[in-house]
Amino acid sequence: MLNEEKKWYEKAGKESDVVISTRVRLARNLADMPFPNRMTPDQKAAVERRVRDAILSGNSAIASDFDFVQMDDLSNEQAVSLVERHIVSPEFIANAKGRGFLISKDECISIMVNEEDHVRIQVLHEGLALSEAAEMADRIDTLLNESLRFAFDSELGYLTQCPTNLGTGMRASVMLHLPALTENGAMSRISTNLSKLGLVIRGTYGEGSNVIGAMYQLSNQITLGLSEKEAVENLQNITMQLISEERKTRASLSKNINVQDKVGRSAGVLKNARLLSCDEYMKLISNVRFGIAEKLLSGITLEDIHTLTVAVQPATMAAAHGSNLSAGQRDILRADEVRKALKALQ
């Protein structure tokens, strides 16, 4: 899967000062198979083979863009690295048996097989790109449905193992960097208001995860009773409101000498540290990212930060440099890589 093309997480897209990425995920199940929690190993293998062939067969126009990966073939570090890059879900790697996934060369499209549902189509884009991601997910959905025939009910919509996904089976989300709204204590109010609008804001890796470096995942909660287009438009509108509120708050905070000092100190530590834990890096790079967006710092781009942030995650580092790295060795290596990447920062 090595190639020269930039991955989605190495780029900065629209509204990238606030929106890190966009994700659209579709949950689908084969009409002639029981849900995954009721399947035998042979049935799981059959579903895996059918989904793989639907994409990689000679009749597929996009076959050459994808690779198939069997989860059993991956080390623990390689599997966790997939989660760190948001390519698969934490739940997907919890049990590798009978699971595999298809992935595009640029890693913006992944198709998980035998997670909670038979098929989880996921499209990722840098920046704010909900319409583009939804359109691509729909194209993959149509292609797969031609040969797989997904379970669908005229009243309930697409049938899913968890009732909360019934209907469109779609979860659209955006990854937001909201340091200013976090700093001024607005996130509790925002979370409450969003829940009234059918949206939910969670930690960096979704449900049950913590907020790391002021990174939040905003997604739709309602999948039944509204169209995919309506869900995407609703999320788009709310996201634009949050972008506006974050930018307004940033403009005010960036004039505060204490905030300026925190940004400068964070840059100084990252440029000079010899030991750097992942948690400390995430907190400090959040401040640096704020500084770049508000032109308090210069010399590197948001793309540089995106690429670096993925590269220095624990499992991704272990997968790249050796699984026998201790936590202390990772901290040394992380500090080295960060110093090199931020050399031009000023």
Note the pLDDT tens digit of each residue in 22-38.
999 999 999 999 999 99
Q: Is 142 annotated as a binding residue?
A: no
> Phi/psi at 103 (nearest 5 deg)?
-140, 135
The average confidence (pLDDT) of the chain is 92
Tell me the average pLDDT across 8-23. Answer: 94
Is residue 268 very low, low, confident or very high in pLDDT (cuts 50, 70, 90)?
very high
Look at 181 and 324; give whichever has higher pLDDT. 181
Q: Is 192 annotated as a binding residue?
A: no
Q: Of the ranges 198-212, 292-306, 327-341, which one carries the lowest mean pLDDT score?
A: 198-212
What is the pLDDT at residue 207? 61
Whether the per-residue pLDDT at 1 is higher than 60: the answer is no
Q: Is 120 annotated as a binding residue?
A: yes
Q: Is 171 annotated as a binding residue?
A: yes
Q: Is 207 annotated as a binding residue?
A: yes
Select from 196, 197, 266 the least CA-distant residue to 234: 197
Whether the per-residue pLDDT at 87 is higher than 50: the answer is yes
Q: Is 203 annotated as a binding residue?
A: yes
What are the percentages of helix, strand and coil residues in the chain, rounded to 5? 50, 20, 35
- CA atoms lying within 13 Å on the CB side of residue 56: 15
What is the pLDDT at residue 2? 41
| d(C-alpha 294, C-alpha 31), whole Å | 51
* Helices 327-341 and 302-311, packing angle to 10 deg: 160
Domain boundaries, the chain: 8-249, 257-341
| d(C-alpha 337, C-alpha 160), whole Å | 43
Q: Is 25 annotated as a binding residue?
A: yes
* Neighbouring-strand partners of residue 30: 150
With beta carbons less than 8 A apart as the criterion, state whether 135 and 170 touch. no
pLDDT tens digits for range 236-254: 999 999 999 999 999 999 9
Q: Give pTM, 2 decimals.
A: 0.90
Q: Is 205 annotated as a binding residue?
A: yes
Is residue 300 helix, strand or coil?
coil
What is the pLDDT at residue 204? 66
Cβ-count burial 113-139 (b if 16+ within 10 Å, e if not): bbbbbbbbbbbbbbbbbbebbbebbbe
DSSP state of 212: B
Q: Is 9 annotated as a binding residue?
A: no
| d(C-alpha 15, C-alpha 130), whole Å | 12
What is the pLDDT at residue 208? 58
DSSP state of 210: P
Q: Is 15 annotated as a binding residue?
A: no
What is the pLDDT at residue 5? 74
Length reported for the chain: 346
Tell me the average pLDDT across 337-342. Answer: 97
What is the pLDDT at residue 209? 62
Q: Specify the fold of 8-249.
A: Creatine Kinase; Chain A, domain 2 (3.30.590)
User: Within a 10 A sphere around the Cβ of 43, how many other Cβ atoms?
Assistant: 17
Q: Is 307 annotated as a binding residue?
A: no
Whether the per-residue pLDDT at 61 is higher than 90: the answer is no
Q: Is 202 annotated as a binding residue?
A: yes
Structural tokens at position 152: 């669908």
pLDDT tens digits for range 193-240: 998 888 999 876 656 567 889 999 999 888 877 888 999 999 999 999
What is the pLDDT at residue 196? 86
Q: Is 24 annotated as a binding residue?
A: yes
Is residue 3 very low, low, confident or very high in pLDDT (cuts 50, 70, 90)?
very low
CA torsion through residues 303, 304, 309, 312, sign: positive
Tell me the average pLDDT across 322-333. Answer: 89
Tell me the average pLDDT across 109-123. Answer: 96
Percent of the chain with pLDDT over 90: 77
Tell me the average pLDDT across 90-99. Answer: 90
Q: What is the largest CA-CA distance in the chain?
A: 64
| d(C-alpha 105, C-alpha 122), whole Å | 14
What is the pLDDT at residue 60? 66
